[in-house]
Amino acid sequence: MDTQPITEFPPQDEKGPAMKGSDVVVACLEREGVDVIFAYPGGASMELHQALTRAKKLRTILPRHEQGGGFMAHGYARATGKAGVCMATSGPGATNLVTCIADAYMDSIPLVAITGQVFQEFIGKSAFQETDFFGMTLPIVKHSFLVLEAEELPMIIKKAFEIATSGRPGPVVIDIPKDVQQKVFEPVFPAKVDIPGMPPPPHASDEELLKVLELIAEAKQPVLYTGGGILSANCSDELREFAKLTGAPVASTLMGLGAMPPDDPQSLYWFGMHGTVAGNWAVCDSDVLVCLGARFDDRITGYVPKFATEATIVHFDIDRSEHNKNKRADYPVHSELKYALTRMIELIKAGKFKKPDLSAWFSTINQWKKDHPYPFHYNESDKYILAQDAIKTLHEETNGDAIIATGVGQHQMWAPQYYHFKNPRTFISSLGLGTMGFGLPAAIGAQVAHPDKVVVDIDGDGSYLMNIQELATAKIEKIPVKVLLLNNQHLGMVVQWEDRFYDGVRGHTILGDPENIGSPDNLDAIYPDFVKIAEGFGIAGRSIHKKEDLRGAIREMIDHDGPYVLNVNIPYTEHVLPFIPQKKGAKDILTD
């Protein structure tokens, strides 16, 4: 029998020289391909920071608040698909990461959060800056590690990255006591790890996939409902090909934006509470709804008993626990999405599918698009800049090629309405947890990941103030992130709900001076002065409120060589439309 010489050998465990546990952590991160860590030091993490000063391949970025660092790691992860890494000290440093970890958990983002912990002898004794971070994060992580044996560090860190990035991505916490960081030992770096209870990615059977294709082929009004799982599985190309082969229209969640070009005739863009009328109505009236990597959350379904009542529902998800959690699926399919789409494409090309005639369905959809065009019509002001104007102009000036991060509020909904995302991983927003203060640090993280791209934080004054200190990080680290600040002196989304449902009573939603709130050109009443604040951080800025200044100011912001804050004073009276009120269905959508 002929034999071939062995040219490749299976990876082997490697033994390193004696070093401190803290240096082992850095070596492990470098072995995992980590190129940047967002880390704020403290007493219980000093050893780790000392080790970072000796790193050869790893850049450390110092945020000005641990939450800022966590959201920078989140933005980095969203923009790359790699695990974002952040680090904090014990006690309050660690608890400042809790919101970031919960945010990553809700949006299925790979995040590795490393925290220092007090010496093991003090754990459980209310020592200075001690918290049970392992325990308190259990409900909001894929997994938590409390490292009690220094020799386990290489194995645990490798497991952490495997868990964070495989299957349905999510956050992992590694809590490391100070004595573990200080222990000197000879580490063994494992080439691979076995994680009991974590099977290989599931693959749907051909029988299951052929049943899905049969349902689509027989449908009169099918819709593909796509979510963030498409981006997590890196299968946007497969989705686009599958959509073409089946002919079905595609409606996306906000997490899935960019997977399908918005100008494609089959695209319904995004649907849900503030999404397109055509998208919402098409999903509502569908007879076969194929969900690909989404979770039927309340901002999508509205009142569940009114959601897609006549549809046969197919639900593809890599996480079996999502099946039938919010909406009962007639055909739950437990599968990795890239495999499922690739295999269905192969089956279609092998003649296992007859493309349905959907001309009548698209005639209806196209009439909805004509009657309720997108972007949605708004009453433009002759004098004042509206948020819609600013975002639309930004889209034009960047040709839709920028990476956009947002805070949370009205601007977060206007952003995808008037900035059309044609590529995956270009819209970065806190969508499950809805965390104010997310935009600026997330944009910084995305800019670090893509230094040659234009990255803009579209923010509101309320959300922006919550992590404004990260301007210092942008300045000192030379991160040229831009901020388009839509300043209406109010908590705009809450004000909108007050206007709609509470007779306009202001329940502490005015951020400026209540006695002077008025038109955007009442400049003496605009507080605080965000341009002066930016200048205080050493960052260039400009403030405008007249329409004729908008395009030039946005061009100046984009072209500026460094971070820049453009404050745009806008009216507070605008509402985000369309709008499906809570406990209502798609046919209850408000358009005025």
Least confident among 7-21, 312-326, 359-373, 572-586: 7-21
> Does residue 54 surpass a pLDDT of 70?
yes
- At residue 424, φ and ψ (nearest 5 deg) are -70, 155
Of 170 and 520, the structure prediction assigns the larger pLDDT to: 170
Query: How many percent of the chain have pLDDT more than 70?
Result: 98
What percent helix, strand, coil does the chain show, rounded to 5?
40, 15, 45
- Where residue 3 falls among pLDDT bands split at 50, 70, 90? very low
Of 556 and 9, the structure prediction assigns the larger pLDDT to: 556
Cα–Cα distances in angstroms (integers) from residue 76 to residues 82, 110, 439, 557, in the given order: 8, 10, 12, 22
Please identify every residue annotated as catalytic: 66, 128-129, 178, 493
pLDDT tens column, 516-567 = 777 787 777 788 999 999 999 999 999 999 999 999 999 999 999 999 999 9
Contact criterion met (CB below 8 Å) for 486 and 460? yes
pLDDT tens column, 185-232 = 999 999 999 998 888 999 999 999 999 999 999 999 999 999 999 999
Query: Domain 206-361 is of which CATH architecture?
Result: 3-Layer(aba) Sandwich (3.40)
R_g (Cα) of the chain, nearest Å: 25
pTM of the predicted model as reported, rounded to 2 decimal places: 0.96
Here the tokens at position 188 are 């063994």
> Does residue 592 surpass a pLDDT of 90?
no
pLDDT tens column, 324-334 = 999 999 999 99
Residues forming CATH 3.40.50.970 domain(s) in the chain: 14-189, 387-569
pLDDT tens column, 363-400 = 999 999 999 998 777 888 778 999 999 999 999 999 99
pLDDT at 7: 42
Class in CATH terms, 14-189: alpha beta
Q: Count other Cβ atoms within 10 Å, centred on residue 499.
A: 14
CATH 3.40.50.970 fits 387-569, yes or no: yes
Phi-psi region of 130 (alpha: psi -120 to 50; beta: other; left: phi over 0): beta
Q: Over the chain, what is the mean pLDDT? A: 95
- Where residue 2 falls among pLDDT bands split at 50, 70, 90? very low
pLDDT at 5: 37
Residues forming CATH 3.40.50.1220 domain(s) in the chain: 206-361
Q: Count other Cβ atoms within 10 Å, centred on residue 538.
A: 13
pLDDT tens column, 60-93 = 999 999 999 999 999 999 999 999 999 999 999 9
Query: How many percent of the chain have pLDDT more than 90?
Result: 90
The angle formed by the CA atoms of residues 264, 550 and 450, to the nearest 5 degrees, is 55
If we measure between CA atoms, which residue out of 64, 79, 85 comes closest to residue 454? 79
